[in-house]
Structure formats: C-alpha cells, structure tokens
Amino acid sequence: MKSSMSFVCGTSDHPLIYQTIGDAFDHAVEQWGENEAIVVRHQGIRWSYRQLAAAIDVFAAGLLALDLQRGDRIGIWSPNNIEWVIAQFATARAGLILVNINPAYRKAELIYTLNKVDCKALILAPEFKSSHYINVLLDIAPAIKTSVPGQLNLSALPALRSLIVIGDKPVAGMFRFDEVAAMAPADAADQLRARALLNQPDDAINIQFTSGTTGLPKGATLTHFNVLNNGFFTGEAMGFTPQDRLCIPVPLYHCFGMVLGVLASVSHGSTMVFPSEAFEPLAVLEAVSEEACTALHGVPTMFIAELEHPDFDNFDLSHLRTGIMAGAPCPIEVMRKVITKMNMSQVTIAYGMTETSPVSFQSATNDPLEKRVATVGRIHPHVQVKIVDEHGHVVPRGTSGELCTRGYSVMLGYWGEDDKTKKDIDKAGWMHTGDLAIIDEEGYCDIVGRVKDMIIRGGENIYPREIEEYLFQHPKIQEAAVFGIPDEKYGEAVVAWIRLNDGETADADEIRQYCNEQIAYYKVPKHFVIVDEFPMTVTGKIQKFKMREQTISKL
C-alpha cells in the first residue's frame, strides 16, 4: 500500500560501503590499475589508476615530514588541477582532514576559515584569475617571507605551520608541492600502514564551508562513509562503468567536483577528464569531443554557455550519454537542447546540500523529460526524507513543507558549532534543510522555495546575512538588506539596499569596490540601491518582499 504521508526511504540491492577512502582507492587500483584514471588537459597529464596511486602515495609520505598528526586540518586553496586530486586522496591516506577553501575567497574569508578549524597546513595555487593568493597571504602575514618553511609562527594565523605552493617557482617561507614528496621520512611506508589501520570509515575526512544564514560560513564536517557512498550511488544512478569518461568542469572545492565527480568515477573505475582550471565553455566542448567523454557535469548556466558557444556545431558530442545537472532549476528548453543537441539522453538532475554529502534526490536515466525538469527525481538509496509543517509534523503527499533528510549522508556537524549543529540536526537525526518541497504520489520531489532566504546564483548558494555582515562593517553604512531577484543568465542576481549614516555620501561604485576587496566575486551584489529608508512592518521588521518588488519594477 502506498503511503499517503510525505516520507520516502531509498532502497537498493547494493549495501552501503563501509570503507575508508584509502581502502576504496586501493580497491580501484587492484581492479582497474591499467585503466586511464585521470586526464588533466591544461596540465598535459594522462595517468592510469596505478600512476595516480604512485603520486598519491609519495605525497602522503611527504606530508608525514610536516608533523601532521591524524585528525589535523590541512587546507587547499586552488582551482582544479592534478595537485587537488592528489591531495584529496593523500590526506585521506594520512588520516588528515582536508579543508576545502573556495578559490574565490578573499582576505577576510581566508583568515576566518583557516582560524575557525585551526588549519596546520595550507596547499595553495600561486594565483587564480584576479586573485594573487601568495600576495593575499603576505598581506595577512608579512613574516612568511622571512620564515623557515614548516616553522611558521604567525600572529594572524596562529595554528598555521606549513605552506605548500603548487608550481615550479620557489616562494620564501613555503614548500613547493613537488618538494614535499622528497621529504618523506625513511619509515614513511610503515607510518602510513599504521595510520591506515587506525583510520575508520566514520572519521571526519573533509570540511566544506557553507555560508550561514545568520552570518559567517559554517564548516560542514563530512566522513569517509558520507562521501564515498554518496559518490558511489550517484555513479550508480548514471549507470557508470569502467568504460565511462566523465568531463568535470565543476569545482573540486565543492561536493559537485570532489564527490559527484572524483568519487563517482573512482568507485566505478571510470576516467576523470578535467578540461581547464575553471569553467570555460570552449575547453569543455574541446574536452568532450577530443576525449570521447560519455558524461558531463554542470549547473544550468554552464550548459547554456556550451550550447550558445559560436563553435558549438564543430564539436563531436556523439559519445555523450549522461551526467548531472544540479545547482539550480533547469528551464525545459535548455533540458531539451541538452538531450537533443548534446546527445545526453540519460542526463540526470540531482538535489542535495553540502551537509548531506551532497545528494538526496536524483532523477533516473530513463525518467520522462517533464519529471527531469519539474522535479529533482526520487530518493537516493539508503536515504530517508520527510516533509514537515511548521510544527514538525509530517504532511500528506502533494503538500508543501520543509524537507528533512536522515541517513548515512548526514554530516557529523558544523566544526566547532555545537549549537548550530543541534539547531539543524534534531535529536532523531533529521537534517532540516531549510528548503520547501513537495513529494508527489510517485515519490518525485519538487523544490518549491526556501524557508531560509537563500539566493542561488549560477549554482552557488549565497546567504544574504553573510553579505549584510560585511556591508555593516563599512564606516559609511547604517543599514543593509540583501536579497535576490530573477536573472536571465544566473537564475538569480544579488541586490543590496543600502542606508547611509547621516551626513555621509557614497555611490554604488565605492561600495562595490569595498565588496570586491573583501568577499568572493559571486557574492558581490550586481545592483546597489541607496535609499533613505527601508519598507518596514509595524513591529520594525524589514520587508524584503517589498524591496524585491520595487527593484524588479525599477529595473
């Protein structure tokens, strides 16, 4: 008998995998050692699983020379490259916790994240786009220049001891990535074997910062068990085999890249293809065509950019079959073109959040088109979901309410934030997502809105409160309110209404410049509206819906 309540539980003939990432990778090498594991086109790298394993092992051994103990945190601040993937597996081998730092982060965000989790080491690219990472660090702590590598003692970053820079150029106070491998102690192999025996599937392996609705980012702490299984079952949903070749233009610092890309591939012996450091539509089309990729990941704006590229018709996309579109709702016309013009007849839609490793719902490769556009598919194996009203009671099917998730995929918690963890994960283990959803009679889920006031811009989750906090620090600003409005290209655009202190003058350019220096580019509001007063309720609450209406009508 079908349940009339909005509760769904995913079943599978395949049990959950109770392994560490290190054991799972060893299994992949045993089974598919000579298969091509990874192609990094912008670095000219093409390695088998065995070659990738060798690079991971020597880097893991080198990390032991940096006095990094099991459970220590090591950050990575870099766009997509081979070093990122090596670090993902090497840190897992060494029992370390990898802290993903968004490549777009600026000074304030970097200081906050490194200190929040007491990062003892940081792997960084020298620069990326307009961010000169080395200069940012030297600005925070000029003493790096005169420090002995591995013996940092910085007042602004008290836990940090070692910096590892990617690339050939030596930098004062830092190790080069390639040097680390040569630093391994004589008994490194024995040490790593000892750690492998101590490492447990339920140990924390990864911290990903997700913007808080009430201010600063929170560090979602994920385990081997969380991410390994989510990667595996995501790959299963796409029908992955060792013959599949997945193009990964989505960022590795996010679950989309490191779980749905890397771990989905490795758990099936598939090939990972990285077209470029960051998303470039031409690089994606070239990679898919020249590498005969069978799968492609992206957010809707990425697929739109690929479809609209002037040279689109010159590429052979005939091998494409599947992939994941996630991060924002997909317009039906875009989905039609992805299926017909890009040959992705089995493209899937996925929904989830960083705190749930990330996927909870995914469409099947044979779901009808309207279900793949109007819904986010059905529940993932071994995951439970219920939809509740404002009192926490489960609602009937077809009724809107807050989506709550429970199961293997729910994070350990927010690092060092027990109160916030208890607020989001209740006593029964349910993660309250803050998303409003409806589950229909067939079990398909439709995300209809957000309990929390989140903005999704091109697949990036943006929380207004965090941007407001930065704006409040500007000496001229009395009050700030941030919200989203519809945007043709990115789904939503960020708007900030600003009220200045009495007697102050400032224009949008001045405030935009201030934001550019402090926060990631995608959080910087597209529109600044400077006003004398905000629309308020009788009780003094800001009415963002009125601001939104007024802004849309003006623009």
Q: What is the pLDDT of residues 342-373, one digit of tens each?
A: 999 999 999 999 999 999 999 999 999 889 88
Maximum separation of any 2 CA atoms in the chain, in Å: 71
Question: What's the average model confidence in pLDDT over 246-257?
Answer: 96
Residue 518: pLDDT band with limits 50, 70, 90: confident
User: So what's the pLDDT on residue 472?
Assistant: 82
Helix ranges (H only) for 66-199 are 82-93, 107-116, 133-140, 177-182, 188-198
Q: How confident is the model at residue 540 (pLDDT cuts 50, 70, 90)?
A: low
The class level of CATH for 29-215 reads: alpha beta
Mean pLDDT in residue range 266-287:
98
Contact yes or no for 245/277 (Cβ under 8 A): no
Which residues are bridge partners to 212 per DSSP? 215
Could you tell me the strand order of the sheet in which 491-500 lies?
A: 477-487, 491-500, 527-530
Q: Which residues in the chain are classed under CATH 3.30.300.30?
A: 455-554
Residue 485 has pLDDT above 60, yes or no: yes
Q: Are 209 and 113 in contact (CB under 8 A)?
A: yes
CA 337 to chain centre: 26
Using CA atoms, how far apart are residues 464 and 503, in angstroms rounded to an integer? Answer: 26
CA distance 40 to 420: 39
φ, ψ of residue 504 to 5 degrees: the values are -90, 150
Q: According to CATH, where is 3.40.50.12780 located in the chain?
A: 29-215
What share of the chain in percent tops pLDDT 90? Answer: 83
Nearest to 16 by CA among 238, 228, 197: 228
Region of poorest pLDDT, from 94-98, 203-207, 451-455: 451-455
pLDDT bin (cut points 50, 70, 90) of residue 374 is confident
Q: How many CB atoms are closer than 10 A to CB 489? A: 10
Extract the tokens encoding 254. Answer: 């996010």
pLDDT recorded at residue 211: 66
Buried b (16+ CB within 10 A) or exposed e, 525-540: bbbbbeeeebbeeeee
514 touches 526 (CB < 8 A):
no
Yes or no: say if 345 and 320 are a contact pair by the CB < 8 Å rule: no
pLDDT at 427 over 60: yes
Per the DSSP assignment, residues forming a β-bridge with 499 are 479
For the domain bounded by 455-554, which CATH number is listed? 3.30.300.30
Residue 335 has pLDDT above 60, yes or no: yes
Name the average pLDDT for the chain.
Answer: 94
Inter-residue contact 100 to 76 (CB < 8 Å): yes
Angle between helices 49-63 and 188-198 in degrees, nearest 10:
100
Q: Given this model, what pLDDT does residue 214 score? A: 44
Of 400, 464, 454, 404, nearest in space to 433 by CA: 404
Secondary element (H or E) of residue 69: none
Predicted local confidence at residue 224, as pLDDT: 98
Number of DSSP helices (H) and strands (E) in the chain, helices first: 18, 27
The Cα 356–Cα 220 span in angstroms is: 9
